[in-house]
Amino acid sequence: MLELLISALDVALSPTVLIAVLLGVILGVTVGAIPGISGDMAMALMLPFVFTMDIAPAIGMLMGLYKGSLFGGSISAIMFGVPGTPGAAATILDGFPLKQAGFPNRALHTGLYSSIIGDFTSVLVLIFIATPLAVLALQFGPREFFALYAVSIVIIAALDKGRVALGFSAAAVGILLSMVGRDPFSGAARYAFGSTDLAGGLGLVPVLIGLFAVSEIMLQAGRIFRERFAHLEAGVRQRTAGEGYDPDADRLSLREYATLWRAVVTGAATGTFVGALPGAGATLAGFLSYGLAKRVSRNSDRFGKGSLEGVAAPEAGNSATAGATLIPLFAFGVPGSGSAALIGAAFIIQGITPGPMMIESNLTIVYAIFILLLYGSIFTLITSKLLLPHYARLSMLPPRYILPVVLALAILGTYAIGNSTFDVWVLLAAGIVGVAMRGVGMPIAPVALGFILGPGLERALRQSLILGFNEPGYFFSGPIALSIYGIAATLLLVFVLVGRE
Amino acid sequence: MSLPTQTPEGAVPDTPAPGKGLVIALSVLACSVIAHAVVTDWRPSPGGNPWLVPVIASGLILGCALLLALRLRGHAAGSDNLTAARMHRGRDIAGATLCTGLWGLGFFHAVQEMGLVTATFLFTAVGMLALSPDPRRALRVVLPLTLAVAISFWLLFTRLAPIVLSDPLFW
């Protein structure tokens, strides 16, 4: 055992691997911060280079890139209100208001520390309890996934106290948007109106960037334009470098961060659990962590208005999927997410098939990967600490200089994903829908969640109907599904009681 | 946790209360989706038909619209001044949304027609100047900034994440 550990350390701490992980982290943070260029996309672009590298530096670079991008996504979410990666969408809800209030540094550092804690937690879980968790995750069938998705939507839709009807209708609108395109069961083109583009469905990235970013840009542009010609109303106030930004007031103390433990623990635990479920992913982890943290918080009324807890929870949550998403891949060869599938592809390119046999026959490599996953988190912390002040300063530039650049970046970044003109139309249309929704007071987050979960929810529902011979009782027959409903009902009851108090 | 006093009240735009327009829009959307599902002859499949989830989601929307309508009946309508101010603001937002959308379409079209660097330089400069209170003074910042942005975009979208362009540089 000791010999094995020494040889794993020898592999993991070799200069080539250290440099590869470091490069991956820097690249990951940078591409994560750029809206429209997701970590998955950068990982896919890296795959051809994996051919030329040894297994340890190749996987090290990909893992570094993945970890870096998970945090990097929060940089543009906080700075510009644009999720750099879909996983950072929930971070916008409080990160961007914090930045607007003149606290970008505190928001970014809260995101960084929470991201590292979440990531580290999930790597430890991966190392120590990978197999039992993977067994549980693999027991999830369509019925259990339907329960998980339905409960997720209920929790997110009920985020806004007193506006539950709006939350539910927003989630339903998101589900409807996700229904555009081919029906996965019959192949019928739904709501395509004869268009081949619509028959292909609406892309996740253009819809998310449009709803969150483009609508924000449109509203901010309107405000700046209004202020330029007539000083009628203040609208959204934003502190800039020239408007009394106080760097001293924007420092995050360790004591202050320690008060966020509840949100961080909630996020890390939720993200680790959700990350281990195949197909659930960082975006769901972020939103679910946010929703749960809001409910357990003593300052839930501050959520959505610039709460540090609202940044800590989703960041811990989405980063906690980093290690957990590898659990089903390592233990059973089932990739839990797109990123895990790319890492699995890298293994296959290197001649190793992920799964139980990999743990049997390549234990040194597996241990080396565990070690590099651990120090990869430390690299993310150090490099991000060095980069953050520059990003924070950049975010304090007057919005009139930033908005055209961000919109151009959003357009080109969206186009870059599939070289599809249709995606650009969807992006702008989603922006207009976002403006309209904000105008009438509908929350955006449930729309995004409904859109993300819609296809999975439909698949789970219809598969369950097939398996249960159209019997509604089938949905409530499994112990895991019943447990999920039970936990959700308990949580909702607790929320109601706590809310009354 | 709560933030210190520096948090401005206006950091987040005020959330308008849902009105009659929203209830009508939600109802129209839900009814259209259901009507389209009913009149379209989608190929049936096992495990519920293709219209199952859209119809459930539309039903949920209709239920929520009904709840909102009931709540609206219980509340008095806003004052005329508030409505007038909201309409004025709504017109401004609609104008800005239209301009921003057209800017985006123009930029994307220009990238394909004029090249990435030229289009980025021109459109970001025009955008920044249009939003500046004193465009002539802003030129000193805008010109070098847009040049740097154009070069960064060229590096990013021709080297890191290449996009399909006839000529990335100029025409």
The predicted-structure confidence for A213-272, as pLDDT tens digits, reads as follows 788 788 888 877 777 655 433 433 444 444 556 666 777 788 888 888 888 999 899 888
CB contact under 8 A, A408 and B120: yes
Residue B148 shares a structural domain with residue B117: yes
Question: Is residue B123 situated within a structural domain?
Answer: yes
CA–CA gap between residue A337 and residue A366 (Å, rounded): 19
Query: Count of domains in chain B?
Result: 2
CB contact under 8 A, A441 and B65: no
Question: Is residue A248 situated within a structural domain?
Answer: no
User: How far, CA to CA in Å, does A112 sit from each of A92, A258, A266, B36?
Assistant: 14, 14, 16, 47
Nearest by CB to A222, which of B10, B93, B130? B93
Residue B117 shares a structural domain with residue B68: no
CB contact under 8 A, A166 and B68: yes
**Count of beta carbons in the 10 Å neighbourhood of residue A165:** 23
Q: Which residues of A touch B68 (CB under 8 A)?
A: 165-166, 169
Q: Which two tokens stand for residue A166?
A: 């709006």
Q: Find tokens 């334009």 and name the residue.
A: A225
Question: Is residue B131 situated within a structural domain?
Answer: yes
Residue B70 shares a structural domain with residue B100: no
Chain B residue with Cα closest to A216: B97
**Count of beta carbons in the 10 Å neighbourhood of residue A169:** 31
Query: Count of domains in chain A?
Result: 1
CB contact under 8 A, A407 and B103: yes
Residue B137 Cα to chain centre, angstroms? 30
**Domain residue limits at A496:** 2-237+254-500
Question: Is residue A247 situated within a structural domain?
Answer: no
Q: Find tokens 């002040």 and name the residue.
A: A389
**Domain residue limits at B65:** 17-74
Residue B100 shares a structural domain with residue B135: yes
The pLDDT of residue B164 = 67
Quote the longest CA-to-CA distance of chain A: 74
pLDDT band at B71 (very low <50, low <70, confident <90, very high): confident
User: How far, CA to CA in Å, does B103 sit from each of A1, A477, B126, B138, B162?
Assistant: 63, 54, 9, 20, 23
Question: Is residue B136 situated within a structural domain?
Answer: yes
Question: Is residue A325 situated within a structural domain?
Answer: yes
User: How far, CA to CA in Å, does A61 sit from each of A16, A66, A346?
Assistant: 10, 9, 11
State pLDDT tens for residues A75-123. 878 887 777 777 788 888 888 888 888 888 888 889 999 999 999 998 8
CA–CA gap between residue B107 and residue B124 (Å, rounded): 9
CA–CA gap between residue A113 and residue B44 (Å, rounded): 51
Q: Find tokens 């806004």 and name the residue.
A: A160
- Which residue, A238, A279, A273, A242, is CA-closest to A81? A238
Under the phi-then-psi rule, with left for phi > 0, alpha for psi from -120 to 50, and beta for the rest, what region is A193?
left
CA–CA gap between residue A217 and residue A213 (Å, rounded): 6
Residue B111 shares a structural domain with residue B152: yes
The pLDDT of residue B12 = 38
Size (chain A), residues: 501
Chain B residue with Cα closest to A218: B97
Q: Which residues of A touch B89 (CB under 8 A)?
A: 233
CB contact under 8 A, B163 and A416: yes
Residue B54 shares a structural domain with residue B100: no
Residue B153 or A488, more confident = B153
| Least confident among A32-46, B9-23, B69-83 | B9-23
Residue B113 shares a structural domain with residue B69: no
The pLDDT of residue B11 = 35
Instruction: Choose, out of A400, A414, A464, the residue to mutate when testing the contact with B (most B CBs < 10 Å).
Output: A400
User: How far, CA to CA in Å, does A20 sit from each of A14, A63, A65, A346, B160?
Assistant: 10, 10, 10, 14, 18
What number of C-beta contacts closer than 8 Å exist between A and B? 262
CA–CA gap between residue A51 and residue A37 (Å, rounded): 23
Pair B53, A197: CB distance under 8 Å: no
Nearest by CB to B16, which of A45, A304, A440? A440
Q: Please compute the mean of the pLDDT values over residues B94-119 and round it to a whole number.
A: 89
Question: Is residue A328 situated within a structural domain?
Answer: yes
Residue A201 Cα to chain centre, angstroms? 21
The pLDDT of residue B10 = 33
The pLDDT of residue B76 = 54
Q: Which residues of B touch A458 (CB under 8 A)?
A: 52-53
Nearest by CB to B50, which of A186, A224, A256? A186
Min distance B132 CA to chain A CA atoms (Å): 6
Contacts of A262 (CB under 8 A, 6+ apart): A293, A296, A297, A309
Q: Is A269 helix (H, G, I), strand (E, B) or coil?
A: helix
Residue B56 shares a structural domain with residue B21: yes
Q: Which residues of B touch A179 (CB under 8 A)?
A: 53-54, 57
- Which residue, B164, B95, B34, is CA-closest to A179? B34
Walk along chain A (501 residues) and give the pLDDT tens digit of each residue: 678 788 888 888 889 989 999 999 988 887 777 665 567 767 766 766 666 788 888 888 888 888 888 888 888 788 877 777 777 888 888 888 888 888 888 888 899 999 999 999 988 888 887 656 556 666 778 888 888 778 777 766 765 555 778 888 888 999 999 999 988 888 888 888 888 889 888 887 788 778 877 887 888 888 777 776 554 334 334 444 445 566 667 777 888 888 888 889 998 998 888 887 655 578 778 888 888 888 888 888 888 888 889 899 999 998 888 888 887 777 766 666 667 777 887 888 788 877 667 777 777 888 888 888 889 889 989 988 888 777 656 555 677 887 888 888 888 878 877 788 898 999 999 999 988 888 887 887 788 778 877 888 898 899 998 888 888 888 888 888 888 888 778 766 766 665 554
CA–CA gap between residue A367 and residue A129 (Å, rounded): 14
Whether the CA torsion A342, A348, A352, A357 is positive or negative: it is positive
Question: Is residue A245 situated within a structural domain?
Answer: no
Instruction: Choose, out of A40, A296, A440, the residue to mutate when testing the contact with B (most B CBs < 10 Å).
Output: A440
Min distance B36 CA to chain A CA atoms (Å): 8
Q: What torsion do the CA atoms of A74, A80, A82, A84 make, to the nearest 10 degrees?
A: -40
Question: Is residue B79 situated within a structural domain?
Answer: no
Instruction: Please state, rounded to an integer, the average pLDDT across all residues of chain A.
Output: 80
The pLDDT of residue B59 = 93
Residue A23 Cα to chain centre, angstroms? 22
Residue B69 shares a structural domain with residue B120: no
Min distance A459 CA to chain B CA atoms (Å): 9
Q: Which residues of B touch A454 (CB under 8 A)?
A: 53
Q: Which residues of A touch B19 (CB under 8 A)?
A: 440
